[in-house]
Structure 1
Amino acid sequence: MSKILHYTFDAILISAVLAGIKRSTGLQPATSKIESTTIRSYVDKYLGFGEWIFDMSVVYFNHSSYFVNDRRDLK
């Protein structure tokens, strides 16, 4: 059971990292090259979940007193 939780957490973390890369650089996996529409649908849902996790993390960190916005261009 602990291995399943570990792999699930790793999969969520990888998806969130891919979402962060997409948001900061515009680079994203080429899911259109996946021939199977079923697999492509699951991959798109997986990546979408990672974007949701990334968004929720940003909201949490934005409201946390442990993080500050140090971007010069936003001031």
Structure 2
Amino acid sequence: MPFVGKLVHYSIDLVLVSTTLAGIRRSAGLTPAVDDTKGTVNVAIKKYLQVGESVIDYISPSLAASGYFKRDK
């Protein structure tokens, strides 16, 4: 059972890192340079970064609808 706990922990950490990179991309316009990689590694990195984009796309409307956040104009 400790293996499953570590797997969940590391998975959540990876999603948080991907989400942080997506936030950096959206706010500062900086993206990791993944075009130098080839083949399967390039596809895997792009899918990993897309996970962070999906998390932000899912979380942003939820936070905007809550009373704890407001949009800057």
What TM-score, normalized to structure 1?
0.87
Unaligned runs of 5+ in 1: none
Query: Which portions of structure 1, spanning 4 or more consecutive aligned residues, are displaced by more than 4 angstroms?
Result: none
Aligned to 1:59, what secondary structure does the other structure show? helix
1:11-69 deviations in whole A, cap 9, x for unaligned? 000000000000000101011011x2101001000101110101111111011112222
1:1-75 alignment, distance < 5 Å: 1-34=4-37, 36-69=38-71, 71=72, 74=73
What TM-score, normalized to structure 2?
0.90
Instruction: Output the amino acid matched with 1:48.
Output: Q
Unaligned runs of 5+ in 2: none
Task: Provide the identity percentage.
Answer: 37
TM-align CA RMSD: 0.9
- Work out the number of aligned pairs and report it: 70
Instruction: Output the amino acid matched with 1:24.
Output: S
Whole-Å separation in 1 of the counterparts to 2:20 and 2:59: 11
